[in-house]
Amino acid sequence: MTEEVKTDGQRSSAFVVSPQKRKMQKLAKNAGETLLLGIASFVAIIVLFIFFFVAVDAIPYFQLRGFTEFFTSTGWYPADEPGEFGALAIIYGSAMVTFGSALLAVPMGIAAAVCLSDILPFSVRQYAKPVIEMLAAIPSVAFGFFALVILAPLLQSNGGPLLMWTWWILAAPFLLLAVIVAADLLSARFAQEENRKKMALLLQSLFGLLAVLVLYVVGTKLNAIEIITGTNALNVSIILSFMALPTIVSVAEDALQSVGRELREGSYALGATRAETLLKTVLPAASSGILAAVILGIMRALGETMVVWMASGNSSHIPDPWYNYLDAVRTLTATIAGDMGEADQVTGSERYHVLFAMGLLLLVISFFSNLVSERIVVRQRKILSGQ
């Protein structure tokens, strides 16, 4: 190569690319990039295809039967001639187990995320993260099997005592806390400086007595409950909440971490405790990210199939009374999974198309929730980075 470099200013022939070759290279580069773009757009094409093919099989149902029956009737008798396709009870069942699981998973998930991002030292966090990942990795059918074979019989045979102990273990610490805080607040408000301690003690014992009474009365009420069927909305809600937790925790933790140190340090400098800093400064700043986490967690619960199919009882009716979580329910996902086997898959029938209508409903809900949560996350990132 050295001998080819002759004089300055004159380029070596080794580095000269003929115009033809350069053209070819440019062509290859463009072709390659187009191919890459094509493959990258594959995902978008799939999303369009999913919408298209689910909609194509769902629309015939609405053409045949209209919208009213599907959304307002509770009669679900797809096997009859003529069939009834009222999905209201099924939609309600889906909403019910999703709400139940959110009720359990959201507070726990946010608390765990706060703990992971702000409270636990790094050494402990290293071990807590794999636990959450394992919880997320366990296949849904294994959770369903647990719900059906272990939790359901347990609820059926020992439901009352189980509920009572859960209530006691969960409620006792919170009530204790409420007693202390209430006594403190009231005594600070109404008593003179010198009497405050006595007043607080008096109020504490008074409220404490009340709290024990509440614990006892509600406990005995729960103990007396006999659960007729273990495969019910409560069972499913509990299991679903543990399936939604990892999603909530990881997304919420990301949101909390994206709140900078400056906000936290400012709050500490003003004399706030850690809890006050987190509750009054960090959580409000991260609120939109946490909302996104909650939405994603709820979607995880709503879209879950195997657990609800195995352990919800699959009974298409609105529980009586409507908030009765100890009743069997049926959900959209379980109905799709369970009824497709009996529907005519090849030629199609109302029975086949109604299941696609349910699928379309799920798809639309998940699409919009995703869109909303994504927008929220983007907006939060912009706000926090000060744009």
Partner 1 sequence: MNLGTRKILDNSFTAVGMGSIVVMALALLVVLTPIVYNGVGSVFFTGTIEHRTMLYKEFGRGDAKAIETQTATADRYRAEAYRMLSDFEQEMEGMSLEASRQYRSKYAPVRAAMSSLLGPLPGDPVPMLTRFQYGQTRWEKAEEKLHNILYEKKWDYSDPTVMAKAFDVPRAEEFAGTKLAPLFSYAERHLADMMQPQFTVYWGFFTDRSLDAHIFGGIWPEIQGTFFLAIGAMLFAFPLGVIAAVYFTEYAKEGFFTSILRSANSTLAGVPSIVFGLFGLAFFINTMKVSESKSVLAGALTLAIMILPTIIRAAEEAILSVPKTYKEASLGLGSTKWNTIVTVILPAALPGIITGGIISLGRAAGETAPIIFTAAVSVGSAIGIADVFSSPTPALSWNIYNLASEHEMASEIRHVQYGMVLSLVSIVLLLNLSAILLRAKISQKLKG
| Residue count (the chain) | 387
Measured from the CB atom, is 53 or 190 closer to partner 1? Answer: 53
Please say whether the beta carbons of 353 and 61 come within 8 A. Answer: yes
Q: Token pair of 291, please?
A: 């909302």
* 333 contacts: CB under 8 Å, gap ≥ 6: 94, 302, 303, 304, 305, 308, 309, 362
**178, amino acid identity:** A
Helix or strand (DSSP H, E) at 77: strand 76-77
Helix or strand (DSSP H, E) at 277: helix 274-277
Measured from the CB atom, is 44 or 322 closer to partner 1? Answer: 44
Measured from the CB atom, is 115 or 318 closer to partner 1? Answer: 115
Measured from the CB atom, is 270 or 323 closer to partner 1? Answer: 270
Cβ atoms within 10 Å of 272's Cβ, excluding its own: 16
Q: Verify binding: residue 27, partner 1, rule CB under 8 A.
A: no
Q: Verify binding: residue 17, partner 1, rule CB under 8 A.
A: no
User: CB of 358: closest distance to partner 1 in angstroms?
Assistant: 9
Measured from the CB atom, is 72 or 201 closer to partner 1? Answer: 201
Pairwise CA distance, residues 246 & 133, whole Å: 7
User: CB of 74: closest distance to partner 1 in angstroms?
Assistant: 22
Give the footprint of partner 1 on residues 316-375 (CB under 8 A).
Answer: 333, 336-337, 340, 345-346, 355-356, 359, 362-363, 366-367, 369-371, 374
Give the footprint of partner 1 on residues 282-311 (CB under 8 A).
Answer: 296, 299, 302-306, 309-310
Measured from the CB atom, is 9 or 341 closer to partner 1? Answer: 341
Site of tokens 């949560």: 373
Give the footprint of partner 1 on residues 240-269 (CB under 8 A).
Answer: 242, 245, 249
Cβ atoms within 10 Å of 254's Cβ, excluding its own: 17
Residues 109-148 as x/- pattern, contact with partner 1 by CB under 8 A: x-xx-xxx--xx-------x-xxxxxx-xxxxxxxxxx-x
Give the footprint of partner 1 on residues 51-80 (CB under 8 A).
Answer: 53-54, 56-57
Compute the half-sphere exposure of residue 39: CA atoms within 13 Å on the CB side of its CA: 5
Give the footprint of partner 1 on residues 182-241 (CB under 8 A).
Answer: 184-185, 188, 226, 228
